[in-house]
Amino acid sequence: MPRLFTALEIPRNAAMSLSLLRGGLPGARWIDVENYHITLRFIGDVDNRTADEIVDRLDRIDRSQFELSLTGTGSFGSKKPHSVWAGVTQPPELYELQGEIERICQRIGLPADQRKFMPHVTLARLRSSRLDDVVHYLSGRGNFHTQPFTVGRFVLLSSRDSVGGGPYRTEEIFPLSDYSEDYNFPSADIHPAESVW
């Protein structure tokens, strides 16, 4: 069974801006541009019945589209950094959507996510990067920001045969109201998949 999570995709223009942040950090394993996303809720490995129930419940979410932008950079792991990320503006609609997905997952019987939701786009996973190098990398990129973009949908993604960072497969798409087909994504290869369960 694939490992599942819900996420927001990053439109092409914002993804291209993110790609300019690649490089200049020894020990970084950079995320491929087509795999940039904002995780809303990690679900994990579930059986087919639970996966079907998750899709059914997520499909009932009725929320409006909203705007956000990417801004700033940072790292996780204060003394021993393990990843670097780009930040996300935090409109209330983002937290409301994430909160509803979290409640759905708990009603289905999944354990509560113990981590506080901190929206971000992972740029790289770090292997033995020195703290000084990470500080230097971030100090030159703190003013990063993108133009606002409209979030018109969220997706259910799966990952296989990987230790984070992709490749990801789009299993289901959940439009938000006022959804427009004009949303452009970094890779033309990412299509809604037929159900795998």
Q: Which residues are catalytic?
A: 37, 120
Q: Give the Å distances, CA to CA, from 132 to 37, 87, 129, 157.
A: 27, 21, 8, 34
Q: How far from the centroid of its chain's Cα atoms is residue 89's Cα?
A: 14
Question: 123 with 70: CB under 8 angstroms?
Answer: no
Residue 172: its H or E element: strand 168-175
Pick from 118, 122, 39, 116: which is nearest to 73 by CA? 122
Instruction: Report the SS3 class of residue 38.
Output: strand
Query: How deeply is 25 buried, as exposed, middle or buried, from its count of CB atoms within 10 A (0-12, 13-18, 19+)?
Result: buried
